C-alpha cells in the first residue's frame, strides 16, 4: 500500500526563553514553519518527489532570517559566514554536500547540484563556490547572509564567553550561573525581540525529510554553523550519516544539535542502522539515539525522521525544537516547546 505523502521540517533546537516571549513573536515562528510546511506539502500533493519537497522546504528555511541558515546565518569568530548543506535521495542513495561557503545564496541547491551533476559527493570552500557558479546558481555578496540580530548575538557572546563557541549551553547552565533561564541575556540589545528558543543557547540548523506517493524518502540539512565558531570548523549538517541520511529501506533523517557529538555518534545513520539491523521501528530507533545514546557524551539536540510507510517522529532532548509536519490533505502542525 502506498503511503500518504508527508513532510517534516526543523529549524533548530535548544533552550527556551518562553517566559520572555510575546505571543506575537512566538506566532512569527509558528507562521513561518507552517508556511514552509505548506510549500513542501504542495510539492507532494502535486505528485512531486520527496527530493523536490525537501529541497524546496530547506530553500525557504534558508531564505527566512528567523533561522540559522542562509539569510540570517550566525557569525564566525572572525565576523564572517560559513554555510554548509547536504541532501540525500533514499531511492538511489545518491547524496551531495557542500561546506564553508560564503556567497552561495542557497547552499541546499548547491548540494543538490553536487548530487545530480558531479561524480563526487562533497565540495568545500572555494571549490564548492566555483562549482556552484559553474552550475549557474545564484551568487550573492557575503553581506546578504548578515542580520543585525545575529551580529549582536556574536558581540554578546564575545563579551561574555570570548573563548567559547556557543554550542551546548542549555537552560540549566544559565541557572547554574545564577541567571534564571527565562531572563533576557545581559547586555541584549533594546528593541531586538527575543526568540522563543534562546538564540545564544540554540543549535541552529534547518532540515527537512519527506516521503512521497511512490514511497521514496529524502532528507536535506543546512546550517550557518555556530556563533563564534573557529573559522574552518565543520559540524554534522553537511556530513552524510551524521546530519543527514536517507534510504528507502529504512528512513530519512535530518538532525540538529551539538554537531561534534552527532558526528561522533554518526547519529542520522544510527537511526537507520537500528531499523535495518535491529528491527526497531522508526520511533524506537530515533528515541534511542536522541534520549539514550547522545546524552552519554553530552549530546544535545533533536532530529526529524520519516519512513517509507509514512510514519513520522520528531524527538529532541532539549527544552524546545522548532519543528512541524504536514501530511497531504491535512493541516500543517507546527510546534516549538515540549
pLDDT exceeds cutoff 90 at 85: yes
Query: If we measure between CA atoms, which residue out of 106, 111, 110, 105 comes closest to residue 143?
Result: 105
Q: Rounded distance, CA 200 to CA 84, Å?
A: 20
Q: Report the C-alpha gap between 244 and 207 in whole angstroms.
A: 9
Terminal Cα-to-Cα distance of the chain (whole angstroms): 33
User: Which is more confident, 56 or 21?
Assistant: 56
- Tell me the pLDDT tens digit for each residue of 158-172: 888 766 564 422 322
Q: What is the pTM of this model?
A: 0.91
Note whether 313 and 272 are within 8 A (CB). no
Tell me how far CA of residue 163 lies from CA of 81, 178, 186, 229, in angstroms.
18, 20, 18, 9
CA–CA distance, 13 with 32 (Å, rounded to integer): 16
- List, for residues 224-241, the tens digit of each pLDDT value: 999 899 999 999 999 999
299 labeled part of a ligand binding site: no
CATH code: domain 6-144+201-337 is 3.60.20.30
* Domains of the chain by residue range: 6-144+201-337
> Which stretches of the chain are assigned E, i.e. beta strand?
6-16, 83-89, 95-101, 122-124, 197-203, 205-211, 217-223, 244-246, 252-257, 301-306, 312-313, 320-327, 333-337
State the chain's maximal CA–CA distance in angstroms.
Answer: 57
Angle of CA points 128, 134, 135, to nearest 5°: 90
What pLDDT score was predicted for residue 174?
Answer: 33
**Phi/psi of residue 27, nearest 5 degrees:** -65, -35
250 in Cβ contact with 81 (< 8 Å): no
What are the residues whose beta carbons fall under 8 Å from the beta carbon of 73, sequence distance 6 or more?
Answer: 81, 83, 145, 150, 223, 224, 225
CA–chain centroid gap for 269, Å, is 16
Percentage of residues of the chain with pLDDT beyond 90: 79
Q: Is 76 a catalytic residue?
A: no
233 marked ligand binding residue? yes
The annotation status of 259 as a binding-site residue, yes or no, is yes
Please list the alpha-helical segments (H only) found in 189-258: none
Report in angstroms the alpha-carbon separations of 266 from 16, 149, 170, 208: 26, 32, 22, 18
Cα(51)–Cα(109) distance, rounded to whole angstroms? 11
Average confidence (pLDDT) over 209-236: 96
Top pLDDT among 1 and 337 is at: 337
Q: Model confidence over 177-191: pLDDT tens digits?
A: 333 333 343 334 344
What pLDDT score was predicted for residue 104? 98
Residue predicted with more confidence, 38 or 197 = 38
Distance (Å, rounded) from C-alpha 250 to C-alpha 176?
41
Could you read off the pLDDT of 107-160 as tens digits, one per residue? 999 999 999 999 999 999 999 999 999 999 999 999 999 999 899 989 988 888
Tell me which DSSP letter residue 267 carries. H
18 is in an annotated binding site: no
CA distance 239 to 47: 29
Options 55, 76, 205, 221, the catalytic residue: 205
Amino acid at each position: 500500500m502506498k503511503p500518504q505523502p508527508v513532510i517534516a521540517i526543523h529549524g533548530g533546537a535548544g533552550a527556551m526563553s518562553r517566559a520572555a516571549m510575546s505571543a506575537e513573536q512566538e506566532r512569527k515562528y509558528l507562521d513561518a514553519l507552517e508556511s514552509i510546511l505548506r510549500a513542501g506539502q504542495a510539492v507532494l500533493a502535486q505528485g512531486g518527489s520527496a527530493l523536490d519537497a525537501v529541497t524546496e522546504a530547506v530553500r525557504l528555511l534558508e531564505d527566512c532570517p528567523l533561522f540559522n541558515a542562509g539569510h540570517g546565518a550566525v557569525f564566525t569568530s572572525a565576523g564572517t559566514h560559513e554555510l554548509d548543506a547536504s541532501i540525500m535521495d533514499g531511492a538511489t542513495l545518491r547524496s551531495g554536500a557542500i561546506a564553508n561557503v560564503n556567497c552561495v545564496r542557497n547552499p541546499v541547491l548547491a548540494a543538490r547540484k553536487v548530487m545530480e551533476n558531479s561524480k563526487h559527493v562533497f565540495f568545500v570552500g572555494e571549490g564548492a563556490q566555483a562549482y556552484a557558479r559553474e552550475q549557474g546558481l545564484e551568487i550573492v555578496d557575503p553581506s546578504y547572509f548578515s542580520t543585525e540580530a545575529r551580529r549582536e548575538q556574536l558581540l554578546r557572546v564575545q563579551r561574555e564567553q570570548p573563548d567559547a563557541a556557543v554550542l551546548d549551553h542549555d537552560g540549566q547552565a544559565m541557572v547554574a550561573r545564577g541567571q534564571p533561564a527565562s531572563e533576557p541575556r545581559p547586555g541584549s540589545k533594546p528593541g531586538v525581540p527575543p526568540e522563543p528558543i534562546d538564540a545564544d543557547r540554540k543549535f541552529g540548523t534547518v532540515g527537512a525529510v519527506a516521503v512521497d506517493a511512490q514511497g521514496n524518502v529524502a532528507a536535506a540539512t543546512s546550517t550557518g554553523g555556530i556563533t563564534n565558531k573557529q573559522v574552518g570548523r565543520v559540524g554534522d549538517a553537511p556530513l552524510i550519516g551524521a546530519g543527514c541520511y536517507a534510504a528507502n529501506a529504512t528512513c530519512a533523517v535530518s538532525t540538529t544539535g551539538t554537531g561534534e557529538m552527532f558526528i561522533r555518534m554518526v547519529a542520522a545513520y544510527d537511526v537507520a542502522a537500528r531499523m535495518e539491523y535491529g528491527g526497531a521501528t522508526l520511533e524506537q530507533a530515533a528515541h534511542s539515539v536522541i534520549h539514550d545514546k547522545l546524552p552519554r557524551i553530552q549530546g544535545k539536540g533533536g532530529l526529524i525522521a520519516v519512513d517509507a510507510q509514512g510514519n513520522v517522529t520528531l524527538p529532541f532532548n532539549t527544552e524546545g525544537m522548532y519543528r512541524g509536519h504536514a501530511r497531504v490533505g491535512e493541516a500543517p502542525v507546527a510546534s516549538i516547546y515540549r
